Amino acid sequence: MRPTPVLALALLPLAHAIDIVSSNDDGWAEANIRSIYSALTSSGHSVVVSAPAENKSGSGSRDEEPTNRTEACEFDSCPANSGPTGQNATDPRLNWVNSYPVTSIKHGIDTLAPQFFNGAPDLAVTGPNVGNNLGLTVHISGTVGAATYAAGTAGIPAIAFSGESGEPTAWDAAVPDYSRIYGELAARLTDRLVASGAPYLPENIWLNVNFPAVDETCASADDFSFVLTRIFTALPLITADDVETCGGSRLPTEFSTIHFTDGCYVSVSVGTADDKGDADAAAQGVVLEKLGDLLTCLP
């Protein structure tokens, strides 16, 4: 029997539902990772969080075997002497690892995904980081480190999300507006990428996505637009052309888009996992086509 139009519309989100592993460097109990978990789950995806037990910002790509925890997790979200890993008592999809972001996402991919997904995850998302990760900061960011591990070593397409607004906030505090908005925006981009079909990204490619501040002008998810950018400033006569779009062959930098452009523009940069640098025009072109009219041009 062919579904009615109403039923067909209701089934649309589930048609693109995938398995996602989620991590960050601000800790498993920070509000932003809980917001993206809720947003992606509401979109129909199956999500498992595997993040550090405490704030591990600035840890880059460090990776060490988890050790037994002797103190409570951040925001008293787990008790002292609770082992090297653990989970939420009422939602086992929320997991902590007493180590770094890379170690945490490895645990999610190698240990948790087989339990919950019966195999590897389809996509890895990290963040939204508390604070932007622009330009050179990608080399020290644990949020980026986890994403590039997934995209490179593990071979899983990955997106690192970061946002300018906010400060570390407990999971059980009132959800800040910026946290909810960043979660909605992250789910919006993720859904568009997933709807484009597998493979979601080329091999060894990750996306570095940075949200500008939430303020009186940029006050809801619908106020924001996504722009294709590059991580680092291109060097004249040295850096190869970017993908042709918006009437030119040089993309704006994510830094200039976030800090020097009026409006509510989200930067989306296409990076290579092995060196955390900018991808070539071919990989940028794949992302440009996949995201389609979700992307806009700067004024």
Higher pLDDT, 7 or 212: 212
Domain segments of the chain as ranges: 19-296
Output the six-digit token pair for 221.
């998810």
pLDDT of residue 16: 80
Q: Are 47 and 40 in contact (CB under 8 A)?
A: yes
Output the six-digit token pair for 135.
């330009």
CATH of region 19-296, choose from 3.50.50.60, 3.40.1210.10, 3.40.640.10, 3.30.1150.10: 3.40.1210.10
Give residue-wise pLDDT tens across range 121-158: 999 999 999 999 999 999 999 999 999 999 999 999 99
Preceding peptide of 114 cis, ω within 30°: no
Q: State the DSSP code for 109.
A: I
| Mean pLDDT in residue range 153-164 | 98
Q: Are 254 and 230 in contact (CB under 8 A)?
A: yes
Give residue-wise pLDDT tens across range 169-179: 999 999 999 99
Output the six-digit token pair for 112.
């948790």
